[in-house]
């Protein structure tokens, strides 16, 4: 393992956790606006159709992936500015 990876790992994990919280909040807000409902459907909700279930899952996956990429990239950029080297 590279020496530059070790210090970044705990920071990356903390940022990932915060990013997950942010992504969850963004997804809930997006679902409220798009579906005009308070809560997104769960996959096992028998009163919801396939289209609604899959739409919610695709939107949730896209939001989480986008937030993760932004957080990871932002963290790596911050590490480079602080240390002069790109992590991992």
- pLDDT one digit per residue (tens) for the chain, 88 residues: 555 556 778 888 888 999 999 999 999 999 999 999 999 999 999 999 999 999 999 999 999 999 999 999 998 898 889 888 888 7
Contact at 8 Å (CB) between 56 and 41?
yes
Query: In terms of Cα–Cα distance, which of 74, 75, 84, 81 is closest to 8?
Result: 75
The span from the CA of 36 to the CA of 23, in Å, is 19
Contact at 8 Å (CB) between 87 and 5?
yes
Helix (H, G, I), strand (E, B) or coil at 16: helix
Contact at 8 Å (CB) between 59 and 34?
yes
pTM exceeding 0.85? no
């Amino acid at each position: 393992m590279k020496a530059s990876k070790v210090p970044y790992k705990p920071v990356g994990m903390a940022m990932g956790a915060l990013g997950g919280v942010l992504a969850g909040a963004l997804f809930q807000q997006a679902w409220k606006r798009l579906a005009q409902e308070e809560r997104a459907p769960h996959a096992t909700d028998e009163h919801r159709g396939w289209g609604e279930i899959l739409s919610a899952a695709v939107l949730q996956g896209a939001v989480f992936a986008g937030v993760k990429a932004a957080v990871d990239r932002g963290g790596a950029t911050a590490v480079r500015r602080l240390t002069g080297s790109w992590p991992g």
